[in-house]
Amino acid sequence: MLCSFRELNIEDIGIMDLKEGIFLLVLLISSKSAYASTDLTGENPITEGKGGEPEQLCTVCEVFTARATTFLNENKTRSEILDTLHHACSELRSLELKCLILVDYYSTLFFSSIGKIRPEEFCGRVGLCDASSVSMAKNDEKCALCHRVVVGVLLKIKNPDAQLEILQMLFKKCDKMKNYAHECKWLVMHYGPYMLTKGEKFLETNDVCASIHACSSKQGESTIGGAALPGSSIHDT
């Protein structure tokens, strides 16, 4: 997949349809992640390229990111964007559900900060540009960790088997309430699924990590780096 980007001329980017540009940006980042995961030498295939490849990829990423953010701000509705991303997820087969969860969760963060994304910082965080100039403070790591946890919870509560396990656990807790066990189980049976659904929607539509101050307001406004980092959780969960 990287071959197509090696042949890409920067002049072509200027006349490229923006919709295609966004799609290629996603492909570029995805191909980097997939290629890096197969690397057995420990070297980064993006930063260890030959013939100026890293500089080319970095430039392409920054140009696409800048044009994509402008395009998303001015011409594309959120529903159309989500439809496109959901369709892309459907092509991932076994990873479709996890892809949909990540899209639904991170789209909220993405749209809230789309106008303030800095292309050079974004591309540095996804490993396509030299990240040495990008500040990676401890609070950034805490923010990324929080988002990983939230995504992990979403993966659980969207899984029917996991939902059943949660309800069964609540029933066991009810047994310990003695005189109120029956009422407790009735509440779990009638409101448990509803609360799980509401919890899922809440996590998808609110930046919980900013609310609990795991992420600073500046992080939430100016970067989407935290959203890029948890991509590895697709394979970890």
pLDDT at res. 188: 84
Name which of 64-68, 127-131, 215-219 the model is least confident about. Answer: 215-219
In this structure, is the dihedral angle defined by the CA atoms of residues 34, 116, 47 and 28, taken in order, positive or negative?
positive
Tokens representing 57 are 């990829």
Q: What is the mean pLDDT of residues 193-205?
A: 83
Q: What is the mean pLDDT of residues 123-147?
A: 65
Residue of higher predicted confidence among 135 and 80: 80
pLDDT at res. 74: 60
- For residue 132, the surrounding DSSP H or E stretch is none
CA-wise closest residue to 70 among 27, 105, 115: 115
Dihedral over alpha carbons 195, 196, 199, 204 (to 10 degrees):
-140
pTM of the model: 0.36
Helix (H, G, I), strand (E, B) or coil at 126: coil
Helix (H, G, I), strand (E, B) or coil at 75: coil
- Whether the CB-CB separation of 157 and 166 falls below 8 Å is answered with yes
State the CB neighbour count (10 A cutoff) for residue 49.
15
Rounded distance, CA 59 to CA 1, Å? 17
pLDDT at 167 over 70: yes
pLDDT tens string 2-20: 343 334 343 343 333 444 4
Burial class (CB in 10 A: 0-12, 13-18, 19+), 130: middle
Residue of higher predicted confidence among 135 and 59: 59
Domain boundaries, the chain: 2-136, 139-211
Which amino acid appears at position 171 of this protein?
F
Rounded distance, CA 181 to CA 189, Å? 12
Residue of higher predicted confidence among 201 and 7: 201
pLDDT at res. 225: 39
- For residue 83, the surrounding DSSP H or E stretch is helix 78-90
Residue 15: CA count within 13 A, CB half-sphere: 4
Residue 37: band (very low, low, confident or very high) from pLDDT cuts 50, 70, 90: very low
Mean pLDDT over each residue of the chain, to the nearest integer:
65
pLDDT at res. 45: 41
Rounded distance, CA 204 to CA 104, Å? 6
pLDDT tens string 67-117: 767 666 665 567 777 787 788 788 877 878 887 887 777 777 666 666 667
Residue of higher predicted confidence among 167 and 31: 167
CA-wise closest residue to 90 among 103, 78, 99: 99
Burial 59-87 (b: 16+ CB within 10 A, else e): bbbbbbbbbbbebbeeeeeeeebeebbee
